[in-house]
Amino acid sequence: MVRTARAFTNIALIKYWGKKNQTLKLPCTNSLSLTLDRFYTDTKLTIADNDHDTVYLNHKLLDETQNKRILKYLDTVRQFYSFDDHFIVDTVNHVPTSAGFASSASGFAALAAAINETKQLNLNKRELSILARNGSGSASRSIYGGFVEWIAGDSNETSFATPIDENPQIDLTLLSVVINKGSKKISSTVGMENSVKTSPFYPNWVTLVASEIKEIKQAIAKKDIQRIGEIAEHNAMSMHALTLSANPSFTYFEPETIRIFQIIQELRQKGILAYATIDAGPNVKIICTNESITKVQKYIEEQLSNVSCVVANIGSGIQYI
């Protein structure tokens, strides 16, 4: 009986922003994330009796444009493991767009695990992380639960995630504040490429990430949420400084992003623990404690009408169900 693979999404506390190798998806720096419990992808593979891949997302057949990225990935995997089988991919995404998280991290982690399961490749977690990375860089981290570091490496075999603390006993909760606004988006792939190529600050970003990874690992070991928040916020804002200093300048911020950042600073002045992290989009994720999160959510919903809030806790690694 072939099992379904389940992978959870993750939020980067130290951001992945820039590739040194586009094809292999090798990043310029390490990154560090927290796997979340709330959002996940379930994927089941069946070997097809023909030479075509078929992809169902949320029980709907994807057309040739929609399934392109997945088919290209399956071609890479076939070549890599020297097999010819094609698949019926059945994937169900529990990462609603309205939650403000990218689904590619959980999506490619679940797909990699499903291939491992169906083809009985017996990959260990490191190999699974490498396989997932070839689909989407951040998917490499969703193989593990808790705090996870993606080691940049310098080849396909040396670029993989590794767990920092898979089951941390820490009072950290994440509030995702979603700005209900359809805005023209610069994809993270294009955004990071522009930053690497044109931001005069990029070389210093590489140095910064190295030192902040070190610092945040110390804070994680001490279960110091405030310090984790401070480092994560500074790292995220520095990533967005790379988009502003790209040439031409661009930003993922929307007006509401700035307002939420102002509110977070107001909350801290009231002594409420809240730190911002922002990915390649306008939404703000707020690092809170179990104590602070209710106050933070209440305050934000009072101040802003056009947002929705979603709470997530620390999640686990790949599961087979």
The single residue among 81, 94, 230, 308 that binds a second copy, judged by CB under 8 A, is 230
Does 15 sit near a second copy (CB under 8 A)?
no
Select the span of 81-89, 129-137, 166-174, 252-260 touching a second copy (CB under 8 A): 252-260
Select the span of 3-11, 136-144, 197-205, 291-299 touching a second copy (CB under 8 A): 197-205
Residue 148 CB, nearest approach to a second copy (Å): 24
Residue 112 CB, nearest approach to a second copy (Å): 34
Does 272 sit near a second copy (CB under 8 A)?
no
Does 271 sit near a second copy (CB under 8 A)?
no
The single residue among 237, 290, 303, 320 that binds a second copy, judged by CB under 8 A, is 237
Residue 300 CB, nearest approach to a second copy (Å): 14
Does 261 sit near a second copy (CB under 8 A)?
yes
Number of residues that bind a second copy (CB under 8 A): 29
The single residue among 156, 238, 289, 319 that binds a second copy, judged by CB under 8 A, is 238
Select the span of 61-69, 145-153, 215-223, 235-243 touching a second copy (CB under 8 A): 235-243
Q: What is the 3-state secondary structure (H, E, C) of the chain?
A: CCCCEEEEEEEEEECCCCEEECCCCEECCCEEEEEEEEEEEEEEEEECCCCCCEEEECCEECCCCCCHHHHHHHHHHHHHHCCCCCEEEEEEECCCHHHCCCCHHHHHHHHHHHHHHHCCCCCCHHHHHHHHHCCCHHHHHHHCCCEEEEECCCCHHHCEEEEEECCCCCCEEEEEEEECCCCCCCCHHHHHHHHHHHCCCHHHHHHHHHHHHHHHHHHHHCCCHHHHHHHHHHHHHHHHHHHHCCCCCCCCCCHHHHHHHHHHHHHHHCCCCCEEECCCCCCEEEEEECCHHHHHHHHHHHHCCCEEEEEECECCCCEEC
Residue 236 CB, nearest approach to a second copy (Å): 8
Does 182 sit near a second copy (CB under 8 A)?
no
Does 179 sit near a second copy (CB under 8 A)?
no
Applying CB under 8 A, the residues found at the interface with a second copy are 200-201, 203-205, 207-208, 230, 233-234, 237-238, 240-242, 244-245, 247-249, 251, 253-259, 261
